[in-house]
Amino acid sequence: MKNNTKTRFTSAFEEDIYSGLTSYPKHLSSKYFYDKKGDKLFQDIMNLPEYYLTNCEYNILATNTQEIADAFTGSNGFDLIELGAGDGKKTKLLLRYLTDKKIDFDYLPVDISQNALDELEESLKKELPSLSVKPQQGTYFKTLGRLSDYNSRKKVILVLGSNIGNLLHKDAIDFLKQIQEAMSPDDMLFMGFDQKKNPQTILDAYNDPTGVTEAFNKNVLERINSELDGNFDLESFFHWETYNPETGTAKSFLISKEKQKVTINNLALKVNFEAWESIHTEISQKYDDMIVEWLASQAELKVTDSFADEKDFYKNYIFRKK
């Protein structure tokens, strides 16, 4: 056993950081971008002019509110389950329409963060006081398992923001399968997928000149410093984005500007970096109809409708069980 090897970890975070930084090439998961600071940085990203995804999806929901809401509505009312609800800005378009029309439904936002759910519930109480909100704290997978017993009426599962794009295809299929297994025959899934487009537009969305995306990417290093007693010098790394138009995969990296050694005390780990060595931190997959239909079929789902913005930058698809 190497003398810097610690075999017992006290959290998945510790284990994943250890394995990512001792692999070649090095990698860290983008799920670790998100803590209080990372959540705020992601909010800032969604307000960047270059980050077109949020506006496109907002426009799709604003332009097609009635048609989408009609597709949601069941004869006996329905339960609207949103995975990764965030601040709910886009969802509120639909919620407002449905409550104005006095349609019978409950809104079940699912999030890992109780804090995010409390804030959302608070704002909904003020803006839509008649809405029935039933927040569900937990991971998507655990909550989906629990909600599969929710069978007294139609379920509509909502996943916005092209969140699926942060998963490799095989993990995206697993995610869709988990959803499919929680669905009854009449249920539907409504999900956003960022589309393939001019590669420059995509690179610009993940390379803003103000450096918010860079700070977001480096937040994983900050978390290692503060939570695992590490000594990453953030200035000696920079953010690098690539986009492969053939596969539709945008990738984020952190690149070491110099040869250096980083110590992570809580993992009893010393990590050596060569000059220009990379840490792969995120994928943001871009799609077209063919890929989405393939993913769906692998998960025993089928696409029954879709909505696009005027430039075809982004699409929301409706899926049902095959």
Q: Does 242 bind ligand AVI (CB under 6 A)?
A: no
What is the amino acid identity at position 165? G
Is the previous residue joined to 25 through a cis bond, with omega within 30 degrees of 0? yes
Q: What is the dihedral of CA 69, 72, 73, 78, to 10 degrees?
A: -130
Q: Does 316 bind ligand AVI (CB under 6 A)?
A: no
Give min distance, CB of 310 to ligand AVI, in A.
Answer: 20
Residue linked to tokens 């799920």: 31
- 43-73 per-residue burial string, b: 16 or more CB within 10 A, e: under 16: ebbbebebbbbbbbbbbbbeebeeebbeebb
Q: Does 219 bind ligand AVI (CB under 6 A)?
A: no
Structure tokens at 316: 């929301």
CB-wise, 52 or 97, nearer to ligand AVI? Answer: 52
Q: What is the dihedral of CA 119, 121, 123, 126, to 10 degrees?
A: -150
- The stretch among 86-94, 105-113, 156-164, 182-190 that binds ligand AVI (CB under 6 A) is 156-164
CB-wise, 14 or 82, nearer to ligand AVI? Answer: 82
Q: Does 43 bind ligand AVI (CB under 6 A)?
A: no
Q: Does 166 bind ligand AVI (CB under 6 A)?
A: yes
Give min distance, CB of 165 to ligand AVI, in A.
Answer: 5
Residue linked to tokens 């270059």: 50
Q: Does 230 bind ligand AVI (CB under 6 A)?
A: no
Other C-beta atoms closer than 10 Å to the C-beta of 283 total: 17
Q: Does 57 bind ligand AVI (CB under 6 A)?
A: no
Q: Does 86 bind ligand AVI (CB under 6 A)?
A: no
Is the Cα torsion angle 320, 70, 92, 148 positive or negative in sign? negative
CB-wise, 59 or 284, nearer to ligand AVI? Answer: 284
Q: Does 282 bind ligand AVI (CB under 6 A)?
A: yes
Report the chain's terminal Cα–Cα distance, integer Å: 50
Q: Does 281 bind ligand AVI (CB under 6 A)?
A: no
Secondary structure class of 199 (helix, strand, coil): helix
Residue from 52, 140, 190, 206 that binds ligand AVI (CB under 6 A)?
206
Q: Does 284 bind ligand AVI (CB under 6 A)?
A: yes
Q: Does 202 bind ligand AVI (CB under 6 A)?
A: no
Number of residues located near ligand AVI, criterion CB under 6 A: 12
Q: Does 54 bind ligand AVI (CB under 6 A)?
A: no
Residue from 21, 28, 45, 220 that binds ligand AVI (CB under 6 A)?
45
Residue from 59, 213, 219, 281 that binds ligand AVI (CB under 6 A)?
213
- The kind and range of the H/E element at 256 are strand 249-256
- The stretch among 73-81, 107-115, 162-170, 232-240 that binds ligand AVI (CB under 6 A) is 162-170
Is the Cα torsion angle 291, 164, 215, 92 positive or negative in sign? positive
Residue nearest to ligand AVI (CB): 284
Backbone angles phi, psi at 248, to 5 degrees: 75, 20
Residue from 59, 64, 143, 162 that binds ligand AVI (CB under 6 A)?
162
Q: How far is CA 159 from the centre of its chain?
A: 9
Secondary structure class of 262 (helix, strand, coil): strand
Backbone angles phi, psi at 184, to 5 degrees: -95, 170
Residue numbers at the binding site for ligand AVI (CB under 6 A): 45, 53, 161-163, 165-166, 206, 213, 216, 282, 284
